[in-house]
Structure 1
């Protein structure tokens, strides 16, 4: 049977998988940064917002370099044990690269780094699945913050609404979200319409390394770290 001459749909959005070359690039870039900067920190984050993180990174561009990606690849770059570490004592850093973590190499003094991270806080709208910080309940009656054109949309979000002489109103009390419970897609949309920002993007320092020195942050302060390998502090 002859092949069909009909036009075939070709997907142009396919992206090449990040393979060995990409991982080697990260390893080499991180090792190069270790020679260019005096200290390296592990940090963790909550409610990551890529755009806001990019803005924070740009503020420190002249003094620091951030790495955010595969923890395993970053561990390989630093060395996981004393036998394969690329700098003395830096394998201790690898132990803290777990979960939502990243690295920042910097020439800033540690008190400046600590103050920058502690002060950084950006508020944003909560996303689906995040935990509500408070209970939000709308009482029965007129919804003056919404226009009558929004009635069909609000109905789709599960809100018991109706039009009364051109005014949108709730026919019964409605709980948008409950404190401590995951936020549904519908609740996330309503909270955005209400202008309630329940998510806070924060960065937390975990540990710090510089040549001959390794410290761990405990309750917002630096403390000495005792290695499981040799018992040195």
Structure 2
């Protein structure tokens, strides 16, 4: 008689062992890249989206190596003290590895790297917890999708969802219609899940994914240079736990 799947035993020690091996492999990989490339950049991400970071990885795959996620592993790999540092001078960069940050190893000259990331911007929809970058008010009348060209009203079958998200709509000739203006959000205030969903439905992109370069270590000079204007704004620093968790599972690329 076959064994019951319900009584199957799972060894927790195997899970722990795999985790340690994974961390050790990442640590070794960071060190190998520190030896290989001329520059190591520290960066943070505004409006983190895995899809956009993967785009960055793909665009740089032939000329750089990117790590993002486990700050403690990256800091340990580089060494946070002069005695522990893996390369001369790199401990000053490692001391800044805290929170949701990443490392970019490359031979590309600094000015080109700075200009490339300064130009790379990807608008996206805000998530719950993001701060509204502007006030959005829906006018009285048909509820419109602003992302369509030309804008078009919502179909009748989406009226229940609009009402569930807080809109007081009535049906007018089969179109969800507002009898009075409705403020979805106010600039500077954190978005609720309902507000974020409404903004997505109407097509209002309120955040911008970008990579902010914070500092650079140069293997030739053994110096760390801080990047002026590299810090994110308060709106950009809100961490999406779901996105961060997924990216942590595939830290290198």
TM-score norm. by structure 1 comes to 0.85
In 2, Cα distance between the equivalents of 1:128 and 1:146? 23
In 1, Cα distance between the equivalents of 2:59 and 2:7? 44
Matched, 1:143 2:143: yes
In 2, Cα distance between the equivalents of 1:59 and 1:213? 27
Match of 2:243 in 1: none
In 2, Cα distance between the equivalents of 1:9 and 1:152? 45
Deviates more, 1:169-178 or 1:26-35: 169-178
TM-score norm. by structure 2 comes to 0.79
In 1, Cα distance between the equivalents of 2:131 and 2:7? 41
Match of 2:130 in 1: 130
Matched, 1:184 2:189: no
Deviates more, 1:200-209 or 1:161-170: 161-170
Give SS of 1:182's match: coil
Match of 1:214 in 2: 224
Number of aligned residues: 214
In 2, Cα distance between the equivalents of 1:54 and 1:102? 13
Name the CA shift for 1:216/1:175 in 2 (closer, same or farther; >3 Å): same
RMSD: 2.3
State which of 159, 165, 169 in structure 2 corresponds to 1:157: 165
Q: Which runs of 5+ in 1 are unaligned?
A: 221-233
In 2, Cα distance between the equivalents of 1:6 and 1:99? 44
In 1, Cα distance between the equivalents of 2:228 and 2:81? 23
1:96–1:206 contact (8 Å) kept in structure 2: no
Give SS of 1:73's match: helix
Match of 2:202 in 1: 194
Match of 1:20 in 2: 20
Deviates more, 1:129-138 or 1:206-215: 206-215
Please give the per-residue CA displacement for 1:74-130, whole angstroms capped at 9, x wherever unaligned: 111001100111111110011211122100110111111111111111001111111
In 2, Cα distance between the equivalents of 1:88 and 1:213? 8
Q: Which runs of 5+ in 2 are unaligned?
A: 9-13, 145-152, 231-253
Please give the per-residue CA displacement for 1:122-159, whole angstroms capped at 9, x wherever unaligned: 00111111111111111222335211221111111110
The structure that has the greater radius of gyration is: 1
